[in-house]
Amino acid sequence: MDNFATDIKKYLEKIFGNTIDEASERQIYQALMVITRDRLAEKRFESNKKLKESQQKRVYYMSMEFLVGKTLRNNLYNLGYEDEIKHFLAKHGFSLERIYNIEPDPGLGNGGLGRLASCYMDALTSNDYPIMGFSILYEFGIFKQVISDGWQQEYPDNWLDLGRYGLLYRNDEEIEVKFYGNTKEEWSSEGLHIRYEDYTAIKAEPYDLFISGYDSDTVNVLRLWKSKATGGFNMKLFEKGEYSKSLESEAIAESISKLLYPADDNDNGKALRIKQQYFFTSASLQQIVKNHYDTYMTLDNFAEKVVIHINDTHPSMCIPELMRILMDEYEYSWDKAWSITTKTFAYTNHTIMAEALEKWSVDLFQPILPRIYTIIREINNRFCKWCNDIGAAGELDEMSIIHNNVIRMANLCIVSSYSVNGVSMLHTEILKKDTFKSFNRIYPGKFINVTNGIAHRRWLGQANPELTRYLNKLLGVDFIKDLSSIDKLLEYQDDKAVLEDLENIKNIKKLQLAEYIKSSTAIKVDTNSIFDVQIKRLHEYKRQLLNALHIIYLYRMIKFNGLKPYPRTFIFSAKASSGYVMAKNIIKLICSISEIIEADPIVREYIKVVFLEDYRVSLAEKIIPAANVSEQISQAGKEASGTGNMKLMLNGAVTLGTMDGANVEIHNAVGQDNIFIFGLSSEEVEELFKNDYRAIDYYNNNQDIKETIDFMRTLDNGHTNFNYIADYLVSTDPYMCLADFESYKNTQKIVEDTYQDKGKWNKMSLVNIAKSGIFSADRATKEYVEKIWKIEKIK
Ligand code: Z57
């Protein structure tokens, strides 16, 4: 640590030519980022040495998204340097908190799927497991959201400006990726040889982000690939004097890693997206195979030493790519290559929603990746033939990989992986009984469940130091090391003093959030009010609209019917995919309600609506510790798991939710007295859907719904009205907001009444914290290790 202080001073002298007392915050920030990275690099060297010596099996985690979140606090926290650096900087007049704020959120993901990948990297590293992540170094991460007149505006997120200091460029390990062109079969005395012709090669440059662990010797790596034009490619054009063309080709090459597609849970079928997927999977696979070959001088034992985990179908081209490398570059036969491949891959499914299951049209795919396409076609031919042999031909409409000229990537993953898992009990059941029913029949035992988990060190330890310190002292157990020990808190569920302490800590966090709300929206909120939080991507199925509809109902009841509810602050934060019109309209609706309430001297005494712009990891870290109510109100059967639900519970919020995703596990953990469940079950939703849900009947038969929707239509200020949303609710809404409204409204009333019984509420809150142990990513990743990967810790 002494050295750390010296290193900071030295860095400032060497790079900026000034002392620490002359330094700017920006300079201190850079020094801390670079020195931390270099410390981790040294530590990495040591742990990697052990890993190489042991020759143990490793996991490679492939994901188009890693929603890393800010790294500096996490790394200093994990390395145990935080307090000392804080004091050292304070001595020189700097606030570490302000330095942390300089770091941009590396927003290399959209939402739950990307954040899950990062939580798992953190947990596996803390538990000394050898894992390496692979993804893309997007020049622009998830867009910056600005709300202007209630409408979402998107701005580019130029995160590398200040974010690049955490990265280490590994110019020694760049790789070429080939697109387009043709393949020629050549026979020689040694057999069949595949020659590639007329292809376009692009360079993949690796940038490493070190992942630190808490109280561990291990440092793992997240490798991010950046696309570049190859030198030769440009030179050819230069020679012909086509200077501008060479720049064009450079721009085309570099466009591959330019930006993250901002659609979450939705497939939009763009050629550039295919290129992104192949670009990073090919670069990663080539590197993994080369490392393996250099170590063992054979690939025969590949599947014994390597597990490649596919996070959703986005990296599924790993599968044909491994086949290609084994056959075209190492001359394996199809059968041997297939035998290795099908022992190597494991696949996690994160959704059952049709619009999110990736499908590529053959016409788009084949010209870009001709060789990969022929391999997929051959996998499919052999699979179909096998289905014929085992009497499953009748189910090929459902199972065939290529169907009606589209490639169904989930089917490719299921056929080629040795393990397929869902992310919550309900989700996995639906996969087995419904979405992939036939596959489950022909591959008994292949489908398993691993309920999601979260990095509690970030979401409790770092986001809520007040609660962490208190629990540490009270419980005398190291729940940061092992979250399951937090259940000791249950012993205090009837201890008045403890319950009051917890309430006071919640109030401190509410006060901090209120400050932030004031500074970002100019709205003053009452910290005695219930902080009711719905924070997640904006999606119809997540039903922010149901929440908004209920607020409109309350508004009307307060204004015209003398209702005087207990004060409540409804907090929303959500990004909408840029092309998603309904989602953007819902944001506008929420912002309009907020404005209308603020302008009403009576209603605003009871309810407030706050929409916080630019939802991201660091904002979630501010909101979650301050929440009283956690809104998890998706239509049952649609949210694969949810992970925000776990983060909120861990911080003492009580869930108001449907029996969906991991809400089911939360319900099981806390018991029905410590959660507010409402609405149709997933079976009831299915039933109602089959029997032709008629939204208009709910409108006609329910006075509150009718009056609320009629009132919604009067919210017309000459510029905007919400008839479009009202029409949707009473006609085509597939997520059936109206079917659950009555139940939601009644349960909201119970929430309100319960909150006023402070003793009771605080106890519910305590039980939620105490029962959150199973939602640690330590538990979830341990299940991956034991049930799927079969790997050992680095010793
Ligand atoms: C995404 O964030 C999720 C699923 C997807 O298929 C895509 Br694409 C993006 C989410 C689910 O919606 C959540 O329910 C789940 O908790 C999360 O993935 C992590 O499993």
pLDDT in tens, 586-643: 999 999 999 999 999 999 999 999 999 999 999 999 999 999 999 999 999 999 999 9
Beta-carbon neighbour count of residue 599 at 10 Å?
9
**DSSP assigned state of 785:** I
| Residue 758 confidence (pLDDT) | 97
Classify 367 in phi/psi space as left (phi over 0), alpha (psi -120 to 50) or beta. Answer: alpha
> Using a 6 Å cutoff on CB, does residue 641 contact ligand 1?
yes
The kind and range of the H/E element at 352 are none
Q: How many CA atoms lie within 13 A of 120 on its CB side?
A: 31
> Using a 6 Å cutoff on CB, does residue 423 contact ligand 1?
yes
> Using a 6 Å cutoff on CB, does residue 117 contact ligand 1?
no
Asked whether residue 235 carries a pLDDT value surpassing 70, the answer given is: no
Distances (CA, A) of 648 to 109, 609, 669, 725: 20, 19, 14, 29
Asked whether residue 234 carries a pLDDT value surpassing 80, the answer given is: no
Q: pLDDT tens digits for 77-90? A: 999 999 999 999 99
The kind and range of the H/E element at 329 are none
Instruction: Quote the distance between the C-alpha of residue 339 and its chain's center.
Output: 32
Q: Is the dihedral of CA 327, 332, 338, 344 positive or negative?
A: negative
- In whole angstroms, give the CA distance from residue 686 to residue 734: 11
Beta-carbon neighbour count of residue 397 at 10 Å?
10
> For residue 414, what are its two tokens?
């299921």
Q: pLDDT tens digits for 65-74? A: 999 999 999 9
Asked whether residue 2 carries a pLDDT value surpassing 70, the answer given is: no
Find tokens 């054979």 and name the residue: 298
Query: Ligand 1: which of 61, 113, 120, 273 to mutate, judged by most atoms within 8 Å of the beta carbon?
Result: 113
How close is the Cα of 265 to the center of ligand 1, in Å? 6
Return the ligand 1 atom nearest residue 640 CA: 14
| Residue 194 confidence (pLDDT) | 86
DSSP bridge partners of 223: 134, 208
Residue (of 235, 134, 231, 229) closest to 179 by Cα position: 229
Q: pLDDT tens digits for 474-492? A: 999 999 999 999 999 999 9
Q: pLDDT tens digits for 560-581? A: 999 999 999 999 999 999 999 9
- In whole angstroms, give the CA distance from residue 653 to residue 638: 22
| Residue 556 confidence (pLDDT) | 98
All structural domains of the chain:
55-70+105-452+782-788 (3.40.50.2000), 526-775 (3.40.50.2000)
- Contact by Cβ (8 Å): 548, 593: yes
> For residue 360, what are its two tokens?
């590529």
DSSP bridge partners of 609: 570
ipTM of the complex: 0.98
Residue (of 385, 380, 371, 390) closest to 414 by Cα position: 380
What are the φ/ψ torsions at residue 589 (nearest 5 degrees)? -60, -45
How close is the Cα of 423 to the center of ligand 1, in Å? 9
Query: Do the bridges between strand 175-179 and strand 200-212 make them parallel or antiparallel, or are there none, so unpaired?
Result: antiparallel
Query: Ligand 1: which of 350, 635, 648 to mutate, judged by most atoms within 8 Å of the beta carbon?
Result: 350
Residues 6+ apart with CB under 8 A from 764: 654, 670, 673, 674, 754
**DSSP assigned state of 230:** -
How close is the Cα of 665 to the center of ligand 1, in Å? 17
What are the φ/ψ torsions at residue 484 (nearest 5 degrees)? -65, -25
| Residue 225 confidence (pLDDT) | 98
- In whole angstroms, give the CA distance from residue 48 to residue 52: 6
Residues with a known catalytic role: 350, 536-537, 542, 643, 647
Asked whether residue 29 carries a pLDDT value surpassing 60, the answer given is: yes
| Residue 191 confidence (pLDDT) | 76
- Contact by Cβ (8 Å): 651, 622: no
What are the φ/ψ torsions at residue 793 (nearest 5 degrees)? -70, 155
> Using a 6 Å cutoff on CB, does residue 762 contact ligand 1?
no
> Using a 6 Å cutoff on CB, does residue 409 contact ligand 1?
no
- Contact by Cβ (8 Å): 411, 401: yes
Q: pLDDT tens digits for 157-188? A: 999 999 999 999 999 999 999 999 988 888 88
Asked whether residue 249 carries a pLDDT value surpassing 90, the answer given is: no
| Residue 121 confidence (pLDDT) | 98
Type of residue at 246: S
Using CA positions, which residue lies closest to atom 18 of ligand 1?
Answer: 113
What are the φ/ψ torsions at residue 310 (nearest 5 degrees)? -105, 110
- Contact by Cβ (8 Å): 119, 643: yes
**DSSP assigned state of 313:** S
Asked whether residue 395 carries a pLDDT value surpassing 90, the answer given is: yes
Confidence category of residue 237, pLDDT binned at 50, 70, 90: low
Mean pLDDT of 760-772: 98
Query: Ligand 1: which of 260, 265, 536, 646 to mutate, judged by most atoms within 8 Å of the beta carbon?
Result: 265
Cβ burial 609-644 (10 Å sphere, 16+ → b, else e): bbbbbbbbbbbbbbbbbbbbbbbbbbbbbbbbbbbb
- In whole angstroms, give the CA distance from residue 8 to residue 12: 6
- In whole angstroms, give the CA distance from residue 583 to residue 1: 49
| Residue 316 confidence (pLDDT) | 98
- Contact by Cβ (8 Å): 659, 667: yes
Q: Give strand ranges (E) for 156-218.
A: 167-169, 175-179, 182-188, 191-197, 200-212
Return the ligand 1 atom nearest residue 662 CA: 16
Beta-carbon neighbour count of residue 46 at 10 Å?
12
Mean pLDDT of 709-731: 95
How close is the Cα of 148 to the center of ligand 1, in Å? 28
Residues 6+ apart with CB under 8 A from 368: 179, 180, 271, 274, 275, 278
**DSSP assigned state of 217:** S
> Using a 6 Å cutoff on CB, does residue 307 contact ligand 1?
no
Classify 611 in phi/psi space as left (phi over 0), alpha (psi -120 to 50) or beta. Answer: beta
Burial class (CB in 10 A: 0-12, 13-18, 19+), 602: exposed
Find tokens 């001088």 and name the residue: 297
> Using a 6 Å cutoff on CB, does residue 452 contact ligand 1?
yes
**DSSP assigned state of 463:** T
| Residue 233 confidence (pLDDT) | 60
> For residue 528, what are its two tokens?
């005695």
Q: What is the CA radius of gyration of the chain?
A: 27
Q: In sequence order, what DSSP letters do the residues of 31-100 get, joined into one string?
A: HHHHHHHHHHHHHHHHHHHHHHHHT--EEEEE-S-EE----HHHHHHHHT-HHHHHHHHHHTT--HHHHH
| Residue 45 confidence (pLDDT) | 97
Q: pLDDT tens digits for 105-134? A: 999 999 999 999 999 999 999 999 999 999
| Residue 427 confidence (pLDDT) | 98
Return the ligand 1 atom nearest residue 537 CA: 2
DSSP bridge partners of 210: 221
- In whole angstroms, give the CA distance from residue 49 to residue 55: 10
Cβ burial 428-441 (10 Å sphere, 16+ → b, else e): bbbbbeebbeebbe
Q: Is the dihedral of CA 590, 665, 428, 483 positive or negative?
A: positive
How many Å is the maximal CA-CA distance in the chain?
92
Mean pLDDT of the chain: 96
What are the φ/ψ torsions at residue 263 (nearest 5 degrees)? -95, 125
- Contact by Cβ (8 Å): 333, 347: no
**How many residues does the structure list for the chain?**
795
Q: pLDDT tens digits for 663-719? A: 999 999 999 999 999 999 999 999 999 998 999 999 999 999 999 999 999 998 888
Asked whether residue 238 carries a pLDDT value surpassing 80, the answer given is: no
How close is the Cα of 451 to the center of ligand 1, in Å? 12
Calculate helix-pair angle for 703-714, 737-756, nearest 10 degrees.
Answer: 100
